[in-house]
């Protein structure tokens, strides 16, 4: 066994149908009594329902969360939180909403209760990405890790099938890179492998029947495991490429992960033999990169950067950004191989053998 360091993060996780019923108790348990609810404009109805549900424990809401946590949005939300005299934050939504709560927690140290409604996994990480003047920067701090996560499967039933597919692939990407991470360790590898298995089993069932509660529970469980992996160990080339693509060309986050993942795994495969074997076991097929490409296709998820609106002329910029500030990666960075990876991903071709 390779030497390793394992550092756990505190987590209080409540999982199950109707978990939202516990929200009031969890606010009180935190010693709070003035909860401020955050979400996106699209989920404003959810925020209203939460405010009604917790009654006197609520002190206000802000429904302006946006992708990639723009600092100007955080500043507007901060003013509303201060005016309301909030003593805790409730984030109901996907990674964008949870990112806003983290950004406020970083500046105020207010405790957070995250109620995830996608599979992005941000709720389980001490990582915050923020965008200012078109530049996205990422930092890690225990201040941004939510104190409580409430996973209520009922809140995920309305996530459209197409978004469920790409959000699930985004989660799988965390676990794939966790298995070949520089900080890979036996506990996180168990969690990551099980996360991939749970999502790969659930996503086709959700695609066929979006209201299937058992499949939705499986996906949410997988999302938690994959998010835990992301929060515990460093990521590699796949996340670097998605960061460069999303930040520079404003591509949709989860869709970009879905497109790039099979290609990044194929690139790393010869240098991550054990990880690839475990990913293959979790997917039920030994050719892990092709299995992920096939999963994307069977779910109707995007397979090309072209269909996400990426200009082909931008590929060189992505290579430049990848070399400018590289992440640790199992395979050495090779300009020609990277160009092939990106060109195949742009075209929507299967990953290189």
Q: Which residues bind ligand NAD (CB under 6 A)?
A: 40, 42-43, 67-68, 93-97, 99, 117-118, 120-122, 125, 127-129, 155-156, 158-159, 163, 167, 170, 230, 253-254
Closest to ligand NAD by CB, 98 vs 275, is 98
Half-sphere exposure of 215 (CA within 13 A, CB side): 19
Closest to ligand NAD by CB, 44 vs 352, is 44
Q: How far apart are the first and last CA of the chain?
A: 29
The CA angle 277-282-284, to the nearest 5 degrees, is 90
User: How far apart, in whole angstroms, are the C-alpha atoms of residue 271 and residue 128?
Assistant: 29
Closest to ligand NAD by CB, 119 vs 267, is 119
> Residue 266 Cβ, how far from ligand NAD at the closest point, in Å?
23
Closest to ligand NAD by CB, 127 vs 290, is 127
Which tokens belong to 314? 């931008």
What crossing angle do the helices spanning 161-179 and 288-299 adopt, rounded to 10°? 170
User: How far apart, in whole angstroms, are the C-alpha atoms of residue 39 and residue 99?
Assistant: 10
DSSP 8-state symbol, 111: -
Closest to ligand NAD by CB, 96 vs 181, is 96
> Residue 28 Cβ, how far from ligand NAD at the closest point, in Å?
26
Cα 26 from chain centroid (whole Å): 24
> Residue 230 Cβ, how far from ligand NAD at the closest point, in Å?
6
Residue 308 contacts residue 252 (beta carbons within 8 Å):
yes
> Residue 349 Cβ, how far from ligand NAD at the closest point, in Å?
25
- Quick one: which of 215, 238, 193 has its CA closest to 338? 238
Closest CB to ligand NAD belongs to which residue? Answer: 95
> Residue 45 Cβ, how far from ligand NAD at the closest point, in Å?
10
Distances (CA, A) of 122 to 45, 68, 90, 261: 22, 12, 14, 18
Closest to ligand NAD by CB, 30 vs 63, is 63
Q: Can you name the residues that pair with 135 across neighbouring β-strands? A: 132
> Residue 96 Cβ, how far from ligand NAD at the closest point, in Å?
3
* Sheet arrangement for strand 12-15: 12-15, 148-151, 112-116, 88-93, 35-38, 58-62
Closest to ligand NAD by CB, 32 vs 221, is 221
Distances (CA, A) of 232 to 170, 319, 329: 16, 27, 16
Closest to ligand NAD by CB, 46 vs 87, is 46
- Quick one: which of 323, 312, 314, 253 has its CA closest to 99? 253
> Residue 276 Cβ, how far from ligand NAD at the closest point, in Å?
23
> Residue 250 Cβ, how far from ligand NAD at the closest point, in Å?
11
């Amino acid at each position: 066994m390779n030497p390793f360091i394992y550092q756990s993060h505190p987590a209080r996780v409540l999982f199950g149908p109707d978990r939202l019923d516990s929200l009031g108790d969890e606010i009180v348990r935190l010693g709070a009594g003035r909860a401020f609810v955050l979400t996106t404009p699209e989920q404003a109805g959810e925020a209203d329902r939460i405010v009604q549900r917790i009654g006197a424990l609520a002190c206000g809401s802000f429904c302006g969360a946006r992708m990639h946590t723009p600092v100007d949005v955080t500043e507007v939300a901060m003013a509303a939180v201060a005016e309301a005299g909030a003593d805790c934050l409730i984030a109901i939504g996907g990674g964008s909403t949870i990112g806003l709560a983290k950004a406020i927690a970083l500046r105020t140290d207010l405790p957070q209760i995250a109620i995830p409604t996608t599979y992005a996994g941000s709720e389980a990480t001490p990582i915050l990405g923020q965008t200012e003047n078109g530049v996205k920067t990422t930092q890690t701090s225990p201040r941004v890790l939510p104190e409580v996560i409430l996973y209520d499967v009922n809140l995920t039933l309305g996530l459209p099938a197409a978004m469920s597919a790409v959000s699930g692939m985004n989660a799988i990407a965390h676990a794939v890179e966790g298995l070949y991470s520089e900080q890979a360790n036996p506990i996180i590898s168990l969690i990551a492998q099980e996360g991939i298995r749970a999502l790969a089993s659930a996503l086709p069932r959700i695609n066929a029947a979006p209201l299937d509660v058992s499949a939705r529970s499986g996906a949410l469980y997988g999302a938690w495991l994959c998010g835990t992996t992301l929060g515990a160990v460093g990521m590699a080339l796949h996340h670097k490429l998605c960061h460069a693509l999303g930040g520079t060309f404003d591509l949709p986050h989860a869709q970009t992960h879905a497109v790039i993942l099979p290609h990044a795994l194929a690139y790393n495969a010869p240098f991550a033999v054990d990880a690839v074997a475990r990913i293959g076991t979790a997917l039920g097929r030994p050719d892990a990169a092709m299995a992920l490409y096939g999963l994307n296709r069977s779910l109707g998820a995007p397979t090309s950067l072209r269909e996400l609106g990426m200009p082909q002329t931008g590929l060189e910029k992505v290579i430049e950004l990848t070399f400018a500030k590289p992440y640790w990666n199992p395979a050495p960075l090779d300009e020609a191989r990277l160009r092939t990876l990106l060109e195949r991903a742009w075209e929507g071709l299967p990953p290189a053998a």
